[in-house]
Structure 1
Amino acid sequence: MGRLVPAVTRALDVLELFLDGDGTLSAPEVTRKLQLPRTTVHELLTTLAARSYLVTTPDRPGRYRLGVRTYQLGSRYADQLDLAAEGRQVAQQVAETCGETVHVAILEETDIIYIANADSTHAVRMVSAAGRRLPAHCTSVGKMLLAALPDRDLDARLGGLELTGMTPNSITDEGELRAALAAVRERGIAVEHRESDPDVSCVAAPVRDRTGRVVAALSISAPMIRWSEEREQELAGLAADGAGSLSGRLGHHGGRK
């Protein structure tokens, strides 16, 4: 590994300060946060501004904010991301941690499509594959994705839709589904008990892109022989952590919602 260049490291330290707070900083604030000499900070800020990585804030003299160059780099990075490829890597990591089947899914109209999965290491397990399509209202990932929709979009998708069940436990009433979605929004986690498979329960958490928009959901599925209230809580935490990790890979830096 080559030697780190101190000047470059300091410049990156300056830029990363803008990830927190209101997105603006003054030279004295940078000096205090990084414990650098004032002359060094002035030179760093001047150089970054000259290259359009920072700009001064017109209505707040003496303060800086991120410039267009950082947006251009971020956009180029986002263009190179592959949700399915990133999802496969994170799903595998989560599956290795919990030993259960992990899926990443997206919403298409009123169905979900699995775009990545990692199988359980147990002999008794849920067997699925990327590309499988299921009714969203019967799955934890589907509930998570439906709950994230704006009200107008959700109304349009549910309007006149016949909620066909996959098992006796599936939700087939629109009012019951809307109540379930409200609970998902409140908790930030979606749960499904034997609604798509009579022998399996699942938990799911939202995956967000760099804008904070929910673009996918990550779920962990386990057969009922290994399910309990304690296990559900544990898997919910692991699903949230996995979804947060995948969100981070997509450029999202906010907390869980």
Structure 2
Amino acid sequence: MAKKDKSEYIIQAVSHALDLLEQFHGDVDELGVTELSKRLKLHKNNVFRLLATLESRGYIEQNKATENYRLGLKSLELGQTFIKQMGLLRQAKPILDRLVGECNETSYVAIFKEGHIVYLDVVETDLTVRVVSRVGSRLPAHCTAAGKVHLANLSDEELEATLPRGELKAFTSSTFTDRAKLKQELKKVADQGYAIDDEELDPGVRCVAAPIRDYTRRIVGAVSISGPSMRFSDERIEKELIPLVLQAGEDLSTRLGFHK
């Protein structure tokens, strides 16, 4: 017995319901029955029945003031489930592998939590001289490239609430301890879209990082490349590592649903 093509099993009503949901995209937040009927090329009665079914399950809701329809909370929950299942770590691994393949330097993915940076995953270089893996460690945000990426996108009020009170702790002679100078540095980071840790946490270690954004445009993490300063010359950082980390951040953001 010949195996049927999957297209032969398509249920037309389900297909129409999905077509209806897909009309709510971009700047389109509400649509009426008449407009949906035109777009779907379906009779108004059929459109109304589809809407009633989707509304009963929470995927569509009606704005009582305009009588138009919009996506319901169930649609949001479904999208969030997808994002969670396709999570940051799962999406980051192949990109970290690619980064290390391109520059042969240790690469991390990190998140911002309670004023600190936490490294979630790492792919290490195979070179003998390398940075020590800090996966799972909580590091201060003001002296790490990944941390500065996050701090640069906070409002002044959020920044003041996030930074520790008093003078910022110095870890090396290059650490930003003056709040005014740190704010100048963060403005630069926000303008250029990436951050550099120039031996600010560990002597002899430099790092470059770029933000990771999700479908809400919110920064949910950072991707970074770290290594000994003897291999991280200004020229190499500028010409090779910054373009690589920016591309990695952009690719990972795209995987999480971010669109420019």
Separation of aligned partners in 2, 1:121 and 1:17: 49
1:204 corresponds to:
209
* Matched residue SS, 1:39: coil
Distance verdict in 2 for CA 1:223–1:43, change over 3 Å: farther
CA gap of 1:254–1:59, structure 2 versus 1, over 3 A, is: farther
Shift in alpha-carbon separation, 1:142–1:29, aligned structure 2, 3 A: same
Q: 1:239 aligns with which of 217, 222, 245?
A: 245
Query: Judging changes above 3 Å, is the alpha-carbon distance between structure 1 residues 70 and 175 closer, same or farther for their aligned structure 2 residues?
Result: same
Q: Secondary structure at the match of 1:77?
A: helix
1:201-232 per-position Cα deviation (integer Å, ceiling 9, x unaligned) = 22212223443332322112244425344643
- TM-superposed deviation, 1:25: 4.8
1:130 maps to which residue?
A: 135
Gaps of 5+ in 2: none
Residue 131 of structure 1 aligns to a residue whose secondary structure is coil
Q: Deviations over 1:97-150 (max 9, x none)?
A: 443221112233443221111112444433323113322211100111222333
Matches within 5 A, 1:136-147: 136-147=141-152
Counterpart position of 1:118: 123
Match of 1:227 in 2: 233
2:27 to 21, 26, 47: 21
CA distance in 2, matches of 1:25, 1:216: 35
- Whether the 8 Å contact between 2:33 and 2:47 is mirrored in structure 1 is no
1:156 match: 161
Question: How many residues matched?
Answer: 250
Q: How well do the aligned residues superpose, as a CA RMSD in angstroms?
A: 3.6
Structure 1 residue 179: deviation in Å? 0.9
Q: Is the 8 A contact 1:120 1:126 kept in 2?
A: no
Alpha-carbon contact 2:36-2:47 (below 8 Å) kept: no
1:1-257 correspondence runs (5 A): 3-4=6-7, 5=10, 7=12, 12=18, 14-25=20-31, 38-39=41-42, 43=46, 46-47=49-50, 50-52=53-55, 53-60=59-66, 64-80=69-85, 82-224=87-229, 225-229=231-235, 231-250=237-256, 252-255=257-260
Structure exhibiting the larger radius of gyration computed from Cα positions:
2
Whole-angstrom distance in 2 between the partners of 1:114 and 1:9: 43
Contact 1:201–1:227 (CA<8 Å) still a contact in 2?
no
- Gapped regions of structure 1 (runs ≥ 5): none
CA contact (8 A) 2:51 2:60 kept: yes
Same amino acid, percent of matched pairs: 36
Give the drift of 1:170: 2.0
| Deviation of the 1:40 alpha carbon | 8.1
Query: What is the TM-score of this pair, normalised by structure 1?
Result: 0.75
SS in 2 for 1:51: helix
> What is the distance in 2 between the residues matched to 1:22 and 1:66?
10
SS in 1 for 2:208: strand
Single out whichever of 188-197 and 91-100 deviates more from structure 2: 91-100
Q: Is the 8 A contact 1:169 1:193 kept in 2?
A: yes
Q: Read off the aligned partner of 2:6 and give its amino acid letter.
A: R
On the 8 A contact 2:109/2:221 being kept in 1, the answer is yes
Partner-residue secondary structure (3-state), 2:210: strand
Q: Give the Cα–Cα distance (whole angstroms) in 2 for the partners of residues 202 and 210 of structure 1.
A: 26
Query: TM-score if structure 2 supplies the norm length?
Result: 0.74
